[in-house]
Amino acid sequence: MKNSYSNIFSFNKKILSKTIKVLNKGGLVSLPTETVYGLAANAYSKTAVAKIFKLKRRPKFNPLIIHYYNVQQILNDVVVNNNFIKLYKKLCPGPITFILKKSKNCKINSLASAKLKTVAIRFPNHAVTRSILKNINYPLAMPSANMSSHVSPVSAQDVYDEFKKKIKIIIDGGQSVIGIESTVVDLTKNPKILRPGIINSSVIEKILKFKIKKKTNTSKIKSPGLLKKHYSPGIPVLINQKKSDEKSAFIYLGSKYKNNHNKFSLSESSNLNEAASNLYKIFRLIKKKGFKKIQIAKIPSRGTGIAINDRIKRAAKVK
Ligand code: TXA
Ligand code: MG
């Protein structure tokens, strides 16, 4: 069935085979995942991967995450280690991305991994994207489906708003349940979280049975895309705000300002997972309503609050 926009499709057998045809020919499609919507292409094809960088205007030094159906598919491309196996068994498919060393015979196109010796891999947990991955014989390079530095999309309509009809197929898989990008954990040496997400360090430590390094802002940039201005709604964002000025939109936790035209609660019950899942949706809504500035109240830095603070800090960066 077609929705009102001709390139947004509900999922069915016909769309499955149409999507696979586009991917086999080296084209781009947008797929739903449990975290955010992705812009997918054949990770083994240089021309396909190049289209992602071009459409997103993504700097070539920022590598993509490669998405697989299951562990069997990765064995030729990366070097697997014990920490990976333990985390994979407990958390996959799910909202976590692993940095591993490339194998000698790795077929991932070097443009996708920004010529690094390592590669980011993920097993997304969404029925639509899993059924596509199951029916192709290559993995999918799939960054979030937004212009570089913009807010990630959490619905098919958000993807349409970013790219209009520049993508042939956008599959509507409903609102992304998690709503922020996957946790990125570097497993090439001592495990280290490079991008916080809903799977936090204590979950990982419990599985590995040892303490892991926290992300630091010093030392050399490990994830090239990580220190730049990012997740930006395109209007100024101020964080740790106490009071709101009437003209700007105010984002907060709780239910203190119910039914107030410029106040937006991330979660009325102050649940941090719910807050994360509403963050980008609310950013986009505020922009659509025409507000010129966003103020955000202090968000507690525990659990998923760490990931929320990471995203809003970078949304607030000037450059
Ligand atoms: O939830 C997600 O991870 C979504 C969905 C679509 O799967 N994808 C996503 O991709 O957020 P993207 O491209 O927007 O973010 C990928 C992040 C970037 O910060 C990039 O620098 C980092 O992963 N990354 C990729 N390869 C890396 C590598 N070899 N070493 C370190 N960081 C890497
Ligand atoms: Mg992104």
- CATH label of the domain that carries residue 289: 3.40.50
> Per-residue pLDDT for 219 more than 70?
no
Q: Are residues 172 and 308 in the same domain?
A: no
Task: Please indicate, yes or no, if residue 80 is contained in any of the structural domains.
Answer: yes
Residue of minimum CA distance from atom 22 in ligand 1: 223
The ligand 1 atom at the shortest distance from the C-alpha of residue 31 is 6
Of 173-177, 221-225, 226-230, 287-291, the one with minimum mean pLDDT is 221-225
DSSP tag of 168? S
Quote the pLDDT of residue 218.
41
Q: Are residues 109 and 189 in the same domain?
A: yes
Name the residue among 138, 143, 123, 153 with its Cα closest to residue 64.
Answer: 143
Q: What is the mean pLDDT of residues 37-65?
A: 97
Task: Please indicate, yes or no, if residue 116 is contained in any of the structural domains.
Answer: yes
Quote the pLDDT of residue 220.
45
> Per-residue pLDDT for 285 more than 80?
yes
Query: Could you list the residue range(s) of the whole structural domain that residue 45 is in?
Result: 8-208
171's tokens = 């599959």
Task: Please indicate, yes or no, if residue 150 is contained in any of the structural domains.
Answer: yes
Quote the pLDDT of residue 67.
98
Using pLDDT thresholds of 50, 70 and 90, give the confidence band for residue 227.
very low
Q: Are residues 162 and 248 in the same domain?
A: no
Ligand 2 mean position to 243 CA, how many Å? 30
Q: Are residues 144 and 91 in the same domain?
A: yes
CATH code at position 134: 3.90.870.10
Q: Are residues 130 and 48 in the same domain?
A: yes
Q: What is the mean pLDDT of residues 141-164?
A: 96
Q: What percent of the chain has pLDDT over 70?
A: 93
Q: What is the mean pLDDT of residues 87-113?
A: 98
User: Is the N-terminal amide bond of 93 cis, ω within 30° of 0?
Assistant: yes
Ligand 2 mean position to 14 CA, how many Å? 29
Task: Please indicate, yes or no, if residue 192 is contained in any of the structural domains.
Answer: yes
Residue of minimum CA distance from atom 18 in ligand 1: 225
* Count of structural domains, the chain: 2
> Per-residue pLDDT for 216 more than 80?
no
Q: What is the mean pLDDT of residues 181-185?
A: 98
Q: What is the mean pLDDT of residues 278-288?
A: 96
Task: Please indicate, yes or no, if residue 109 is contained in any of the structural domains.
Answer: yes
Using pLDDT thresholds of 50, 70 and 90, give the confidence band for residue 255.
very high
> Per-residue pLDDT for 90 more than 50?
yes
Ligand 1 mutation pick, 181, 193, 222, 232, max ligand atoms within 8 A of CB: 181
Q: Are residues 179 and 295 in the same domain?
A: no
Q: Are residues 15 and 130 in the same domain?
A: yes
Higher pLDDT, 223 or 130: 130
CA distance 186 to 98: 6
Using pLDDT thresholds of 50, 70 and 90, give the confidence band for residue 245.
confident
Name the residue among 93, 132, 124 with its Cα closest to residue 12.
Answer: 132
Q: Are residues 71 and 185 in the same domain?
A: yes
Tell me how crowded residue 208 is: count the other CB atoms within 10 A of its CB: 17
Q: What percent of the chain has pLDDT over 90?
A: 88
Higher pLDDT, 230 or 57: 57
Task: Please indicate, yes or no, if residue 2 is contained in any of the structural domains.
Answer: no
Ligand 2 mean position to 90 CA, how many Å? 25
Q: Which ligand is nearest to the CA of 147?
A: 2
63's tokens = 């590598």
> Per-residue pLDDT for 226 more than 70?
no
Environment class of residue 116 by beta-carbon count within 10 Å: exposed (0-12), middle (13-18) or buried (19+)? middle
Using pLDDT thresholds of 50, 70 and 90, give the confidence band for residue 222.
low
Q: Are residues 50 and 195 in the same domain?
A: yes
Ligand 1 mutation pick, 159, 221, 223, max ligand atoms within 8 A of CB: 223
CA distance 280 to 300: 18
Quote the pLDDT of residue 319.
58
Quote the pLDDT of residue 20.
98
Quote the pLDDT of residue 231.
85
Average pLDDT, the chain: 93
Q: Are residues 255 and 188 in the same domain?
A: no
Residue 186, strand partner residues: 99, 192
106's tokens = 């790795």
Three-state DSSP state, 288: helix
Q: Are residues 90 and 140 in the same domain?
A: yes
Task: Please indicate, yes or no, if residue 43 is contained in any of the structural domains.
Answer: yes
Q: Are residues 193 and 310 in the same domain?
A: no
CA distance 185 to 90: 15
